[in-house]
Every structure is written in C-alpha cells, then in structure tokens.
Amino acid sequence: MNRFVPFLLLMLGLISSGLAKSEPITGHVIDDASGNGLPGVSIRALLSGTSWLVSEPTDNDGAFRFDLTDGFDSAAMDTNFLNLEFSKAGYHKATRMRSTQTRGQFIVKDLRVRLEPKNDSDTAVEVSSPTDIEESAITPFRRIFHRSYDLFGAGEGNTDDSLTNLNRRLPRHLRRGIITHLQQLQLPANITFDPIPDEIKQDNSIKLRAFAHSEDALAVILGEAELTVSDGDETIELASEYRIIPLLPDFQPGSLFLDDRISKDDFSPSRLSRSLSKTWGGTTVFALALYETREAMKQDDQQKRQAGLKRAEAFLKAQKSVLGIDDDMLNQQIDALLDLIRREGES
C-alpha cells in the first residue's frame, strides 16, 4: 500500500496545480485627465482574503504584466473572485473586480485602468455653519449622478442600438436595485439618480468630481463598453465604475470597477443590472457611511458629532452582516472606516 502513497501525492499535486492555473495578467494604467500612460503605479491583488503586492509597478508607458501564481498558493487561488487595486501618490485608487466561472483560472488581458488625479479640494473637511446644518436637514435625499456608457475599442459589428437601450434603461434598473438593497438592510433609501448635465458630460475627471462635490453627491456612476468578436461569437465587455465622492483627509477609497463579459445575444439592461445591483448597493451603503462620517467630523457640537459617527457605524455594520466571500475589498474598506470612526469617537 505504501508504494501508492507517492503516486497519490503526485496526483493531488497535479490537481492542485491545475486549479491554480492562470494566465499572466496584462494591461495599461493611464492618467484619466491626460490619457497618458502612468508609470510607477502599485498593484495589489486580493484573492480569498489574501493580499499580495505585485513586485513590479507599471513601467514607463504604464504597462503591467504579472502572474497570480507568483504571489498566491493553490489554496488562495481556489476562488471565483479577483480584486485588483491600483494606487499612486497624487491619484485616487481604482479597484477592479473580476469573476470567473472556472475557479482559479483568471483571464485578464489588455486591461485598461484609468486613475483619477487628485486636487486640493478633494480632502478638505470644513466645519459646518448652522446654516449648512439646517440645509442638510431640509434636503434629506442623497444624489447619485450617472453618465452614459461610452463605446471604446474598434471591435467588429455595431453596439450602438444595444448601448442606446442600455443607457436609456439601466439607471432606472440600478436605482431600483440599490434602493431595494437599502430597504432590505432597513436603512434610509433616500437616493435619487440624476443624469450628469450635458455641459459636464465631456469634462475631464477633475471637473467631473468638482461638479459632484458642488452638488454634495454620493457618487458618480459611469462605464465603458467594447464589442469583441472571437470565432464568430460577439461579446460585449463592460467596465462599470462607481466613483465615491465623499472623502476624508485620511480616507479616500476612490473608484470601484466591476468588469463583465456578456454575450451580445444576452445583453440587456436588466441582465447587467442584476450583476451590478448587489455590488453597487453595498458600495452605496459604504458611501452613505462615509458621508455621515464626514458630516460628523465637521461638527463642533460633541453630541451631534457622536450621533453622526454612530449612524455611520450602524450603516457599516448592517452592510458587513450581509457580505459574501466575493466581497473581500469592500469588507477591508468597511473595517478601515470602522476603525477610523472608533478613533474619532474616542478623540
């Protein structure tokens, strides 16, 4: 019997290595304002709750290439969900979320990542005047702005009709999904979805964020779509972005991207909404908590300050109670904000 042990161990090793098989991840990071490649961007990968800082940042052209098996063992690779976080001083972070039907086998080629430059007003937290407090009480609704999905790439075929239908119907589907998520957590569902004004649509990311700040918005939702053709099969690849607007000097979560690949034949606003609503719902709870934290930190009145921090903490704990195994990145951000709230409450 003992002579079979090495054989069994070998077979188990082959199965394990097969599970962890993954192609190199490649792509480019660009400056969202200039469109130029961005060198020196750090990349952190997250699998199964395990984090790995990729050894090489982006090169002089903003390009990157790495293999997940260089940083993760087979146990960590045994998952359907991958998070990639891109960061560089002077820019807002961007997190890309990918899923795969085959556990541990992630195909991420020619990924295009945009990093949004920061400006000085992003981190300002000013003390509110009594007028500001009264106005916020009169206007309880929190605004999310949305911009139409853009077409990129030069794939064969035509997605104009599909995108027109998507851009017309998706905001309604997403608003319903996000509000349903808030209601299920018994949280205030006072969210409005508003289109970005035409005069702002084509502005760069700095002006877009400045506009959202001026409107006291929670977030801006936007995205890109590309039609790809392989062996006659048409697939629409989408990068959907949730750009969180409330920021703190020591806490700036940046943008969350959710990547989807949908057959053109199956492509519809309701199909994409089902994919996005859970993630965007959880991210909206997080944005609401960040908003409440920011407003609490403006207060001179300690009673109001503590009440605001407790409200933010309640939002985060409600969301944390429903997180799944694919929510590693959001879970980390919630823990970090809870830690900040605890420190602020003790100060």
Within a domain: 234: no
> In terms of pLDDT, which residue wins out, 306 or 18?
306
Within a domain: 266: no
Among the listed residues 340, 333, 334, 339, the one whose alpha carbon sits nearest the alpha carbon of residue 318: 334
Within a domain: 332: yes
- Same domain, residue pair 329 and 192: yes
Within a domain: 246: no
| CA–CA distance, 316 with 82 (Å, rounded to integer) | 23
- Same domain, residue pair 41 and 162: no
pLDDT digits (tens, 9 = 90+) for 42-89: 999 999 888 999 999 999 999 999 999 999 998 989 988 899 999 999
- Same domain, residue pair 190 and 303: yes
CATH of the domain at 91: 2.60.40.10
User: Coil, helix or strand for 206?
Assistant: helix
- Same domain, residue pair 199 and 335: yes
- Same domain, residue pair 95 and 139: no
Task: Quote the domain boundaries for residue 62.
Answer: 4-115
- Same domain, residue pair 60 and 179: no
Among the listed residues 21, 46, 14, the one whose alpha carbon sits nearest the alpha carbon of residue 105: 21
pLDDT digits (tens, 9 = 90+) for 210-238: 899 999 999 999 888 887 777 778 888 88
Within a domain: 264: no
Residue 186 is given by DSSP the state T
- Same domain, residue pair 101 and 133: no
User: In which element (H, E) is residue 16 found?
Assistant: helix 4-19
pLDDT digits (tens, 9 = 90+) for 173-223: 899 999 999 999 999 888 999 999 888 876 678 888 889 999 999 999 988
User: Domains in the chain: how many in total?
Assistant: 2
- Same domain, residue pair 26 and 75: yes
pLDDT digits (tens, 9 = 90+) for 235-270: 888 889 999 999 998 888 889 888 888 887 887 888
- Same domain, residue pair 45 and 98: yes
Report the percent of the chain where pLDDT is more than 90. 46
Residues 6+ apart with CB under 8 A from 22: 67, 68, 69, 77, 104, 105, 106, 107
- Same domain, residue pair 8 and 99: yes
pLDDT digits (tens, 9 = 90+) for 114-131: 999 987 655 554 434 333
Within a domain: 8: yes
Within a domain: 258: no
| pLDDT for residue 134 | 36
Q: Mean pLDDT in the chain?
A: 83
pLDDT band at 36, cuts 50/70/90? very high
- Same domain, residue pair 287 and 143: yes
Residue 116 is given by DSSP the state P
Reported pTM:
0.81
- Same domain, residue pair 129 and 111: no
**What phi, psi does 149 have (nearest 5°)?**
-65, 135
Within a domain: 231: no
